[in-house]
Structure 1
Amino acid sequence: MSTATALAGYPFTPHRVEVGGHRMSYVDEGDPTAPPVLLVHGNPTWSFYYRSLLQALPARGRRVIAPDHIGMGLSDKPTPEDYPHTLARRVADLTAFVDGLELTEPVSLVVHDWGGPIGLAWAAEHLDRVRDVVVMNTGAFPLPADHGLPWMLQAARLPVVGDVLVRRLGAFSLGALVLGTGRAWLPPEARRGLLAPYDRPEHRVAVQAFVRDIPLGPDDPAHPVLVRLAARLPDLDARPVQVHWGMKDPVFDADILAHVEHHLPHAEVHRYPDAGHYVLEDATPAIVERVGAFLDRR
């Protein structure tokens, strides 16, 4: 995909900045002097996932910023040899990105999926730069011992099978369109947009790497990052937190939500019984209005 402007539903002009030797693409909408909102996406999505908030929140007096992780969306897509593709590096990249924005006031942070560990790990180390937090279907702690992975994720993590399924065939991105929604199928605009940057194997390196980086035990590289983050969640709970949860999510299910509520007991929680992992796609009007009202309170 050469430009984002060719996509229906994504009428934004991408900006680019160098982060750690690679170009990171991001969208920056609204008055640059307005209170900032930082949107951090997961896998296999990109800033397109937040298009509804990118359009709605500037009209409510917010500056809305949505980066694409390195290897994702419109950002550079380096090889495994040129980029580590680890959670720790993702957090470092987000830190460098936010530092480069030179913001003069705290941000409202919105996270989904892998954007949760990445964005919340940054927030936990920079509490003075966080105004409030919105959480959507994610985890900010190691998976509970009795919580297994769906077969699709297990297969995608296998060295040879995962390489064929995720990188060569794009089956993970395609499967997410089905398993990620509580509906029969996402609308054409959403399907085309979510898949657009991952149109060939070399553009799906980061998609595969994110799956492989899911920590299942203490020996996995991402595990200590999540352990540290879980210990810091009580500090984040002191900030206003709003949670939106698609209850048909096959991975971040009701059990994971219960753990989120345990770690963030003061959070305002909204459940969407008919929504899946792509909760913002399935419940767009309700979430956009509730997020806007939540941010307006402050």
Structure 2
Amino acid sequence: MNKTDWTFGGEWPFEPKWFDTPDGKMHYIDEGPKDGRPIIMVHGNPTWGYLYRRFIKAVVAQGNRAIVMDHLGFGRSNKPTSEGIYSISKHAGRCEALLAALDIRNAVMIVQDWGGPIGLTFAARHPDRVAGLFVLNTFFTRPLKKVPLPRIIRAFQAPLLGDLIVKGAHAFVRGFLFNAGLSDPSRLTATDKAAYLAPHPTWSSRAGVLAFPRQIPSGPTGPVSDFVAHEGAKLAKAFADKPVKIVWPMKDVAFAIETLEGMWLRDFPHADVTRVEDAGHYVQEDAHEIVIPLLLAFIQQISGPVAS
């Protein structure tokens, strides 16, 4: 792993930065003018900051500041083997600590997948520091009823079988990220696949990847359901009159359209929504040509000072 070219042929040309947490060292990048509006991009599973490579270049070219972290267990961040370190509340706490240390103000937050509960917790707790939300397919509220989990998710959650599939076969990356999670898997180049495989070369390095599916809520009760219910209620109140843009991939096999219409639009009826018909779960890969212009337009529409 030490021999990896982390620029991936120039696709990821950003200077690495490091943030110390009690659980390990987090990698992040901080690009663009320091007095530009902070655009914070938060990834999910099993991706890392590379997912936003095109977004970073676009927002910096617009004059903004791009901040993208790798959650512990992902990208270039440390990869502890204890699954307990990867609870959603701990991920969210580390994200909050990094952004507080950077003294983020008047930011736009972009979140997707597990990046929603992790990143939006910062917005919920510090709404005075976030000017607008750019929400991709994610969740941040308690499920209203029992959630029928797909067979593969139940397999991931099984004590031994999940370890064999995710840690052993690396199936979450090879099977979901490279195939089922995309509307058009051919959009990933050989370089892209190498970039997504690089962070997790060994069985032991994949504990964080497995921890996420094992936390998927199966209904209204449970640690994650309770966490997002508590933090999500604060977010809904704080952003009732703030700019919220939602971009939703209509071929996502993980988040049904009911999550958009029954949860997001219930809490944010004023949100501007774009439905992307031909995009899967990883909408940043499937439809970046659509999503990035929408993001740049959203940033331009936000009023108020950039820095204070």
Normalising by structure 2, what TM-score?
A: 0.91
Match of 2:149 in 1: 149
Q: 1:185 to 1:159 in 2, by over 3 A?
A: farther
Q: Tell me, what secondary structure is at the counterpart of 2:67? A: strand
Match of 1:216 among 215, 218, 222: 218
State the Cα RMSD in Å.
Answer: 1.7
Contact 2:124–2:232 (Cα < 8 Å) also in 1: no
Contact 1:41 1:115 survives alignment (8 Å): yes
Map of 1:160 onto structure 2: 160
Give the Cα–Cα distance (whole angstroms) in 1 for the partners of residues 91 and 9 of structure 2: 26
Q: Where does residue 112 of structure 1 map in the other structure?
A: 112
Deviation at 1:146, TM superposition (A): 5.0
Q: Which residue of 2 aligns with 1:260?
A: 264
Q: Secondary structure at the match of 2:231?
A: helix
| One-letter amino acid matched to 1:29 | E
Superposed displacement of residue 74, structure 1: 0.5
Contact 2:143-2:225 within 8 A present in 1 as well: no
Task: Work out whether residues 150 and 251 of structure 1, in 8 Å CA contact, stay in contact via their aligned partners in 2.
Answer: no
Counterpart for residue 78 of structure 1: 80
Contact 1:234–1:264, Cα closer than 8 Å, also in 2:
no
Post-superposition offset of 1:85 = 1.1
User: Residues of 1 paired with 2:217 and 2:144: CA distance?
Assistant: 11
CA contact (8 A) 1:149 1:251 kept: no
Query: Could you tell me which amino acid in structure 1 is paired with residue 247 of structure 2?
Result: H
State the identity as a percent: 35
Which runs of 5 or more structure 1 residues have no equivalent in the other structure? none
Q: Secondary structure at the match of 1:99?
A: helix
Shift of 1:200: 1.6
Moved more, 13-22 or 266-275: 13-22
Where does structure 1 differ by over 4 angstroms across 4 or more consecutive aligned residues?
A: none
- Number of residues paired by the alignment? 296
Give, in whole Å, the separation in 2 of the partners of 1:164 and 1:219.
Answer: 28
* Mean Cα deviation higher: 185-194 or 239-248: 185-194
- 1:168: Cα distance to partner? 1.4
Picking from 194, 197, 200, the partner of 1:195 is 197
Q: CA deviation at 1:21?
A: 4.2
Q: How far apart, in 1, do the equivalents of 2:156 and 2:110 lie?
A: 27
CA–CA distance in structure 1, aligned partners of residues 146 and 183 of structure 2: 24
Q: CA deviation at 1:141?
A: 1.4
SS in 1 for 2:76: coil
* Matched residue SS, 2:7: helix
Q: Deviations over 1:80-138 (max 9, x none)?
A: 07x521011111101110111123x3211110100001111221111111110101110
